[in-house]
């Protein structure tokens, strides 16, 4: 008889390497968020906390120019992190990783547009529907006129 599959949360809380990896990933995620709060402005969008080992926080950025900007603020970040989050932090290392550009978040496009033809069809469907469905369909058809106005 086969063993039933284990729940992922159980695997993460057992002994071994997986719980340690999960814990470190969560730590890096929190540090990334915190560093981005300390380094405000456009520079925060160009960096990622890559690692924390032996008291050294490794921050990756997309270009050498951004690395220079982070290096100018490194002492401020180091002092703030030591005081509020990581007292064992001894240094911050900034590295350039151009491949971060591939993973950069792009501005989300607004896809809430309906063509006039689609709006006409939805409006015709709403004529034959009843109750709240008819109201929602008419509201959906109204998006076509709103998207042309903006």
* Exposure of 58 in the CB half-sphere (CA atoms within 13 A): 9
- What is the model's pTM? 0.59
Mean confidence (pLDDT) of the chain:
83
Q: Select from 58, 89, 92 the least CA-distant residue to 72.
A: 92
Tens of pLDDT, residue by residue over 86-135, are 899 999 999 999 888 776 555 556 666 778 888 888 889 889 888 888 88
Tens of pLDDT, residue by residue over 32-57, are 999 998 887 888 888 999 999 999 99
Residue 66 vs residues 58, 94, 111: alpha-carbon distances, Å: 14, 10, 32
């Amino acid at each position: 008889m086969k063993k039933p599959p284990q729940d992922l949360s159980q695997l993460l809380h057992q002994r071994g390497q997986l719980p340690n990896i999960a814990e470190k990933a969560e730590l890096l995620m929190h540090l990334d968020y915190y560093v981005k709060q300390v380094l405000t402005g456009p520079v925060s969008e160009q960096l990622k906390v890559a690692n924390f080992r032996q008291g050294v926080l490794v921050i990756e950025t997309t270009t050498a120019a951004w690395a220079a900007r982070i290096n100018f603020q490194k002492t401020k970040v180091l002092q703030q992190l030591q005081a509020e989050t990581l007292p064992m932090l001894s240094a911050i290392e900034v590295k350039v990783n151009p491949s971060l550009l591939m993973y950069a978040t792009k501005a989300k496009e607004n896809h809430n547009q309906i063509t006039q033809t689609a709006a006409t069809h939805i409006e015709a469907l709403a004529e034959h529907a009843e109750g709240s469905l008819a109201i929602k369909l008419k509201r959906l058809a109204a998006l076509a006129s709103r998207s042309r106005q903006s």
